[in-house]
Structure 1
């Protein structure tokens, strides 16, 4: 088994990459692993593609944030001999939150990762780009697309950066005109939020569909239509906490395998931290899966977050 560490040296604090390699050396024997550094956008995917091209069993460690993980996932998708994990070095690492409140911290244990189990995870195909966590296309996407501006500010961490970006985008106006088709729901008008969940978390801690499972073959979709700033302020907390069933007058939900949406002007869409802009999108459950490995003592179906938030039976469409 080969172990390949794909490291984004710009993620995390100064010297994070050097300290990571010290930990790798303490766990892995010489010759048991390889390390490669990214220098820019697309490098993580290219490095991962070279690693899987041999067709031999390999474990890929995406060392960075959500963007680094997304690139490695796109390279390994559909390759049965390859498995992916995320060693958190970024400010987000939202997919790891699906493993529970302590889950993100467990992914810093390299020995637990090396010997951990793996499971197939569903993927979303959004205009050809694959994602494993959350796709958003509303004010939430515009917030995520601009959050990097605030992360550069002194003493501004991940969650605070998202809050500052949210305030800035809400001030510009919450809704944009859009046409959305998901299952039996056809909507044309102002859209505040369109969110499609395979995982559970995005935006530095938002958990809109807490019962979402990344391996159940179902995409969980929420559509928030026309809403003013005052109402948005009242509802956003419930949306972030996964209480969408309390707001049927505002939030339309569908649990299925595809959604299409379009607009006269380009829509900002964020796929696991990667930004796309176009006037028309088709998002569907991909035929490809990716193997994801993790510490043996955590699993998304057993996370305490799921147990705490799953309220009652879900009546919508196969749930």
Structure 2
């Protein structure tokens, strides 16, 4: 096997994990180079990606590994693409070391967050395959952009509760904030489709899962040049809690057809009031959204 150089950008919250150290040692024992950079405060990911691009010019880096959750991967890829002009691609591939709470994107890649050494070995063995990224108002996402009440639940669920209950923590939080459920009006347009009305949740997927494993875009593919749009319309009075529970427990496939699906390259969304969108878990707030796919923009170990 060809010797590789991995640059691990590690979320500082995970720096003391023994399984991370074991993973790095295991890959080094395979004969590969692993250089580790640890984040400490806001802005560190962008700085460390800039450093990786600079170092690559002198000593090529094969793969930049994002060590953290979906938000860390988002920051790493976004920082790399922000520093590259036009349609140029980053000079190295990317890989995921799933150290977050939900690890939705890692599960799409069939990585096991309970076996971190195996995940880092995977980064040396898997092919670097062309992979799409999405873009919302100039900011990229690798996995999914989500909006609506479900987004608020994801953002406001107690991290300690997530550790205890896993994905069920989102449902628990949503049920306890049931009185805050309210419809948001939106108009959604693609190249050949339009929809208007109140919605409970909206997802635009490059990947398939978000919010702790919820299958919001179950047929999304990472390299097909298309985004999968899912709209969950706001239901009639009296059915909201049942719909929300089914969505959180079984994903859109458990809604018995009570959702809208569309595949598209470009999507525009206008909302009647400010709504929060999460890009791989990172929040944005606004009323006007331009969404597009960037076909085969990066190489990803998968």
Q: Bin the TM-score by the shorter chain.
A: 0.7 to 0.9
1:65 paired with 2:75, answer no
Query: What is the DSSP-based 3-state SS (H/G/I as helix, E as strand, rest coil) of the residue aligned with 1:74?
Result: helix
> Residue 5 of structure 1: which of 8, 17, 32 is its match?
8
Give the Cα separation in 2 of the matches to 1:290 and 1:255: 21
Q: Corresponding residue for 1:299? A: none
1:163 paired with 2:164, answer no
Q: Corresponding residue for 2:264? A: 256
Q: Check whether the contact 2:131–2:296 (CA below 8 A) recurs between aligned residues.
A: no
Q: What is the TM-score when the length of structure 1 is the normalising length? A: 0.79
**Relative to 1, partners in 2 of residues 1:82 and 1:252: Cα closer, same or farther, differing over 3 Å?**
same
Q: Corresponding residue for 1:141? A: 151
Structure 2: runs of 5 or more not aligned: 82-87
Give the Cα separation in 2 of the matches to 1:178 and 1:288: 30
**Relative to 1, partners in 2 of residues 1:59 and 1:288: Cα closer, same or farther, differing over 3 Å?**
same
Query: What is the DSSP-based 3-state SS (H/G/I as helix, E as strand, rest coil) of the residue aligned with 1:25?
Result: helix
Q: Corresponding residue for 2:133? A: 123
1:220 paired with 2:228, answer yes
> Residue 79 of structure 2: which of 60, 70, 75 is its match?
75
Give the Cα separation in 1 of the matches to 2:260 and 2:121: 43
Query: What is the DSSP-based 3-state SS (H/G/I as helix, E as strand, rest coil) of the residue aligned with 1:289?
Result: strand
Q: Check whether the contact 1:268–1:276 (CA below 8 A) recurs between aligned residues.
A: yes
Q: Check whether the contact 2:204–2:217 (CA below 8 A) recurs between aligned residues.
A: no
Give the Cα separation in 2 of the matches to 1:114 and 1:75: 22
Structure 1: runs of 5 or more not aligned: 295-319
CA RMSD after TM alignment: 2.7
Query: What is the DSSP-based 3-state SS (H/G/I as helix, E as strand, rest coil) of the residue aligned with 1:152?
Result: helix
- Cα deviations across residues 98-146 of structure 1 (Å, max 9, x unaligned)? 134x654566412332232211111100111111111111112111221
Q: Corresponding residue for 1:48? A: 49
Q: Corresponding residue for 1:33? A: 34
**Relative to 1, partners in 2 of residues 1:154 and 1:231: Cα closer, same or farther, differing over 3 Å?**
closer
**Relative to 1, partners in 2 of residues 1:107 and 1:83: Cα closer, same or farther, differing over 3 Å?**
farther
Q: What is the TM-score when the length of structure 2 is the normalising length? A: 0.83
**Relative to 1, partners in 2 of residues 1:175 and 1:154: Cα closer, same or farther, differing over 3 Å?**
closer
Q: Check whether the contact 2:219–2:228 (CA below 8 A) recurs between aligned residues.
A: no
- Cα deviations across residues 168-197 of structure 1 (Å, max 9, x unaligned)? 443301421222223443333322111111
